[in-house]
Amino acid sequence: MLDTEHLTESDVRRIVREEIERAFRADPSRNTATIIASKGTLDWAYPPFILATTAAAIGMRTSIFFTFYGLNLIRKDFEKRILVAPTGNPAMPMPVPMPDVLTGMPGMKAIATGMMKSMFRKKNVATLRELIDSAFDLNVNLVACQMTMEVFGYKPEDFLDGVQFGGAAAFLSEARRSHVTLFI
């Protein structure tokens, strides 16, 4: 074919455009999602796990970096630590409107947490435990922030088996090669 002839500039430009189009389609940045999970309440536990498991399910290389309050989500004792507080969030659906001074009464966090879990169960939403298991099954990298662990006095053995450990530099070296970068 062309291999035996002289290539002209327009042949070359055509070849180049083909290769560039292929390279952009194959750009690993399009196939990588890097998510920070910084919050430790039941409502904010869902977005990082739902987005990460969905990304992994459509074939993206996916990491969640857990920092600050987010570390609670991957501790072995996460069940008893992950609560939800309606106080200060007037957008939370409540059976009746309540002022914050009422939602802040003793016991209300347990009530709100129970109500949210029950609503999720009725709607067949996965539990946090199920989402964590899915994340591991789909090879999502779950990374605990070492600096926050140090500050809060958490030990590696406090975390679920399979959790990795890293710092902000490790997060950024992954994130700089990702189109999807989210701070949750």
Is 94 an interacting residue with respect to a copy of itself (CB under 8 A)?
A: no
Contact with a copy of itself (CB under 8 A): which of 91, 95, 139, 161? 91
Go through the chain and tell me how many residues it has.
184
Nearer to a copy of itself, 36 or 163 (CB): 36
Where is 146: in which H helix or E strand? helix 146-152
- H/E stretch holding 141 reads strand 141-145
CB closer to a copy of itself out of 153 and 161: 153
The answer to whether 84 contacts a copy of itself (rule: CB under 8 A) is yes
Instruction: Tell me how far the alpha carbon of residue 140 is from its chain's centroid.
Output: 9
C-beta of 172: minimal distance to a copy of itself in Å? 5
Select the residue interacting with a copy of itself from 96, 107, 157, 161 (CB under 8 A): 107
Number of amino acids touching a copy of itself (CB under 8 A): 90
* Stretch of 39-47, 129-137, 157-165 contacting a copy of itself, by CB under 8 A: 39-47
Residue 80 contacts a copy of itself per CB under 8 A:
no
10 lines the binding site for a copy of itself (CB under 8 A): yes
Q: x/- site string to a copy of itself, residues 140 to 159, per CB under 8 A?
A: -------x--xxx-------
Instruction: Specify the amino acid at residue 96.
Output: V
Task: List strand residue ranges (DSSP E) for 19-135, in order.
Answer: 32-37, 61-66
**Locus of tokens 């016991």:** 107
Based on DSSP, count helices (H) and strands (E) in the chain, helices before strands: 8, 5
What is the torsional sign of CA 158, 159, 164, 167?
negative
